[in-house]
């Protein structure tokens, strides 16, 4: 991961803002109460966490990423935004991390995964881990299967994403249902932008 992001971290946000659709909607719908906590798994440059901190000024924000290089940029961005007292970052593996050891937190009111599952080889384990550290809700958004867009667009997008080891998860809805059935969650799944993006949610039933 560090080899991939050593250079990309400097231009990541500028190149992603036009096609990582649905991130801001996820943030707007977090519904974080007074003093609520949120963690983003795969926080990257902290772009989303900075937006969360601004949208929900009473929230306590945390983020993990596997890339130490990306976290260098994330911490610089957080400091530049004047939010170092509200956003805590740590290096960690999405498929298995200890929130108590990293942050002194047993669980979080909200867990976010934004265009992360498509980049994690064992993405099902990451989804299960998200549920394991959530006390209230898990929200995810990622590339869909472009099911209501022209086939040529789908082929071109998937070929381009493949160059960056990004694989849209065709079985996301089923994976959400599996976690929900196993751990007493309620799963919802919503295609957005004609299937360009898929949004998923796990809530306590």
The model's pTM is 0.90
Residues 6+ apart with CB under 8 A from 44: 12, 65, 70, 74
> Residue 181 sits in which domain range?
2-204
Give residue 6's pLDDT: 45
What is the model's pLDDT at position 204? 86
CATH of the domain at 87: 3.40.50.150
The domain tally of the chain equals 1
pLDDT at 13: 46
Helix (H, G, I), strand (E, B) or coil at 100: helix
Q: According to the model, what pLDDT value does residue 19 have?
A: 57
Per-residue pLDDT of the chain (205 residues; tens, 9 = 90+): 444 444 444 444 444 444 589 999 999 999 998 889 999 999 999 999 999 999 999 999 999 999 999 999 999 999 999 999 999 999 999 999 999 999 999 999 999 999 999 999 999 999 999 999 999 999 999 999 999 999 999 999 999 999 989 999 999 999 999 999 998 999 999 999 999 999 999 998 6
């Amino acid at each position: 991961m560090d080899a991939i992001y050593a250079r990309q971290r400097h231009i990541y946000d500028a190149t992603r803002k036009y096609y990582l659709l649905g991130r801001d909607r996820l943030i707007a719908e977090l519904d974080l109460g007074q003093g609520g906590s949120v963690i983003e798994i795969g926080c990257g440059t902290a772009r989303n966490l900075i937006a969360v901190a601004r949208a929900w000024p009473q929230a306590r924000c945390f983020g993990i990423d596997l890339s130490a290089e990306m976290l260098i940029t994330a911490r610089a961005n957080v400091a530049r935004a004047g939010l170092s007292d509200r956003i805590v970052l740590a290096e960690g593996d999405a498929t298995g991390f200890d929130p108590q050891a990293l942050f002194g937190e047993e669980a979080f009111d909200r867990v976010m995964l934004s265009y992360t599952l498509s980049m994690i080889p064992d993405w099902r384990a990451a989804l299960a881990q998200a549920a394991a550290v959530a006390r209230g809700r898990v929200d995810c958004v990622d590339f869909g299967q472009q099911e209501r867009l022209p086939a040529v667009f789908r082929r071109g997008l998937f070929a381009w994403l493949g160059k960056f080891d990004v694989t849209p998860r065709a079985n996301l809805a089923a994976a959400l249902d599996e976690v929900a059935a196993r751990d007493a969650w309620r799963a919802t799944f919503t295609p957005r932008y004609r299937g360009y993006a898929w949004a998923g949610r796990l809530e306590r039933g």
